[in-house]
Structure 1
């Protein structure tokens, strides 16, 4: 963004030379001592004009001096009076007049001049100078304060000044006299002018912003937020998702608003891969951690984005498999689970089948029972927040009574593998053979771990049937069939 110097004071000097008689009046062109711009606002609007006159030519005891301002082009055809001195208030040269700019001042070629009433003399105009009254002098928003936007290849994206905008946004569109200038960043500290107007159709990727046009008085005090505009290809592109409270953020302070590019034809939000019902706008409000994604249709193309939102402000992990995966209880009968975290002054809770386990308050737990577990970490200082982990433990070799003739290896944790009585499993030296319906041996072991099928079956038939032969160490044989249902 360009840097400007804010003018805090100017001195205007107009020299008037009068002859002793009207006929012999001599008015020389005034000289002007002034900076190149006069920048006024509701917090500063005080300027000073100094002029020289021939004291003997004017009856100063009954005279008034008048300060006039030209139009923005330097014409005095319809001048505006900025100041009129009291009668006899200025009696000695040089005279000094304090004045303020009108709130309508907006141009680069203003002039001032001095007039007297006794006798009536008028100076020439001063040198031209820029003068602006900054009627709107605070930052404002564009694009509904969204800092990203996307357009389809061959199209464009329309950036507009918000009116009125959100919150305390002081939209400059409330002041009809104002004009605007759009810029595109070329570096973090430089930019190039694009065009004038209250809106901008962007067809070139880049970061854009707009300033109220106060000529050389323009400053960042009256400029917009920046918007990064990108082009999406016909096959889709990625975009950003922003969290209004940052990421990570403290969920105990309330909900955060996730926002993506604006101007899409349609939106759909997802959490942890699942579609969120009714989440079909460019924003989504939540206080839950998770992987959030959004798909945006832009008409002839689409875009998508994701954010891994952390609503806890601390990191944590667990050293067992979380649901839907299953952990097996080892032969020793004890599975030790450990939590790792960066929580401040943490507290720990462990649950089995939704029941709090008394006395389990450390960051590790020795599980000796099967079931559904939950581990909770609570941060109790600073950002009050928590994180929970869900996991399940099953017996490696459960005590089943009969050899099953049906399995459903669909990954739901129920009946996924062929689980047989303990008298035939690892340690019994029982020989297990499984044969396909075509007579091909697909599995054989004398150390069975209740783990068939240990790889994904290539099922060409609906509900195929396999055959098993179990031969014990004492040469007893069991035969039967296994139907696989997907």
Structure 2
């Protein structure tokens, strides 16, 4: 009887020990709704409860398992294992990272313990993508337009290989791509998936790396594709180094749209041997290419600059200045640490080295912008400032250049002065031409020297589309 009692007590103790060795793990609670991982961010949290904490042994580890993209755990992936004995209290929060190949909309995770062994139910499903490429990329060689002949098609492709100017997503074999067509400035529709798209309908198209519901910067430029309405149409040319580009870096590659054959031109002259889709050059100029598309052709143009920077000026080529008025000319430029030098009538204006110039006198002006950092180059703008001439009614026949500001110069009606393209000729009494211009500035006589008293000159005014005027001018001092 005593032996029976001892055995019974031992069985009870063993049963109680077995019960105490069990642990139950609750459903994982995700600290996120979707996981859009990248090189700059790949840290996520999950919280769970387990009971009883006393059941855990000192060697226990908590493990996070990741399902496949459909939520199935047939072949789970271990994405985290805690150090032995490090988690002893409930609730617990674990931090993990996702594999760089993850891509899908319905992943799940679950928690397992090793001592004692237990497995939680699975978490809610979540979208998860690792954005291994997350920068804009190019399609169609960055050419913004393309053409296909009526009844034909045009093939859009993602540019490859990658390089400093283009982080091509084709460098990453795990990625897939979606193509879209714009329906408005802010909306688009999905067209197809793949590394290329055969377009049979005019419209604006672009591609995105397929990161599902995760937002991304991995998208392409947009290409406007048209169907040729005639046998000849126009498109564009791209420059691999941009336009302007820096000639010191090396040549740029000009690219046209895809076609059956090509012929390149520079400044209107055919370039011998330039019959490929791309043309390499390190010279500025007006380039064009004729692309044979089969049943039609396309012509593309680019005015290529190799100065390395863009500049503009906010004044016209010809500006009229009223009396007492100040004209301010301002240059805007992308040059690095630009230097400015202003000129009037080809003479340097001392002290004027800023991006703007206040002008109070007529003359021929010029500004030179210089970039000495990076791409050493210059760009210049030339413009003219004229004084607003008084609009006299008649052509005067007397001039008195004595400095009293009255009839000092020969002032003629405004319709014959600068900008009217009127030819103005003045001839002395010996028949010698002393003035012949199509841009008269109401400034004759300038630096006139004569020995005769009150010499007489003769004028011939020939307007572009009007009757010629002739007469005499007496110079009185």
TM-score category of the 2 structures, normalised to the smaller one: 0.5 to 0.7
Instruction: Find the counterpart in structure 2 of residue 87 from structure 1.
Output: 84
Instruction: Find the counterpart in structure 1 of residue 368 from structure 2.
Output: 380
User: What secondary structure does 2:226 align onto?
Assistant: strand
User: What secondary structure does 1:102 align onto?
Assistant: coil
* Contact kept in structure 2, 1:148 and 1:260, CA below 8 Å: no
Post-superposition Cα deviations, 1:148-179, rounded to whole Å, max 9, x if no partner, equal: 22211111111112221453422222222211
In structure 1, the gaps of 5 or more residues are 1-18, 319-341, 350-361, 365-376, 389-486
Question: How far does residue 74 in structure 1 lie from its aligned partner after superposition?
Answer: 0.9
Instruction: Find the counterpart in structure 2 of residue 109 from structure 1.
Output: 106
Tell me, yes or no, if structure 1 residue 227 matches structure 2 residue 223. Answer: yes
Q: 1:386 to 1:244 in 2, by over 3 A?
A: farther
TM-score (norm 2): 0.57
* Contact kept in structure 1, 2:264 and 2:275, CA below 8 Å: yes
* Contact kept in structure 2, 1:378 and 1:385, CA below 8 Å: no
* Contact kept in structure 1, 2:64 and 2:81, CA below 8 Å: yes
Post-superposition Cα deviations, 1:99-147, rounded to whole Å, max 9, x if no partner, equal: 1111121111111111122222111111111111122222222222222
Instruction: Find the counterpart in structure 1 of residue 456 from structure 2.
Output: none
Instruction: Find the counterpart in structure 1 of residue 156 from structure 2.
Output: 159
In structure 2, the gaps of 5 or more residues are 1-15, 319-330, 332-339, 347-361, 371-376, 383-477
1:58-457 alignment to 2 at 5 Å? 58-220=55-217, 222-241=218-237, 259=254, 261-271=256-266, 273-283=268-278, 285=281, 287-288=283-284, 292-306=287-301, 345-346=342-343, 379-382=367-370, 384-385=378-379
Distance between the aligned counterparts of 1:255 and 1:347, measured in 2?
35
Post-superposition Cα deviations, 1:386-426, rounded to whole Å, max 9, x if no partner, equal: 799xxxxxxxxxxxxxxxxxxxxxxxxxxxxxxxxxxxxxx
1:14-53 alignment to 2 at 5 Å? 22=19, 30=27, 32-53=29-50
Distance between the aligned counterparts of 2:61 and 2:306, measured in 1?
72
Please, which moves more after superposition, 19-28 or 44-53?
A: 19-28
Q: 1:255 to 1:50 in 2, by over 3 A?
A: closer
Distance between the aligned counterparts of 1:242 and 1:30, measured in 2?
56
Distance between the aligned counterparts of 1:161 and 1:94, measured in 2?
49
Q: 1:245 to 1:116 in 2, by over 3 A?
A: closer
User: What secondary structure does 2:170 align onto?
Assistant: helix
* Contact kept in structure 2, 1:144 and 1:166, CA below 8 Å: no
* Contact kept in structure 2, 1:29 and 1:125, CA below 8 Å: no
| Equivalent residues, number | 320
Distance between the aligned counterparts of 1:79 and 1:283, measured in 2?
49
Q: 1:20 to 1:226 in 2, by over 3 A?
A: farther
Alpha-carbon RMSD across the aligned residues, in angstroms, is 3.9
* Contact kept in structure 2, 1:211 and 1:218, CA below 8 Å: no
Distance between the aligned counterparts of 1:133 and 1:27, measured in 2?
32
Question: How far does residue 269 in structure 1 lie from its aligned partner after superposition?
Answer: 3.6
Post-superposition Cα deviations, 1:181-229, rounded to whole Å, max 9, x if no partner, equal: 1112223332221111111111112222211111111412x12222222
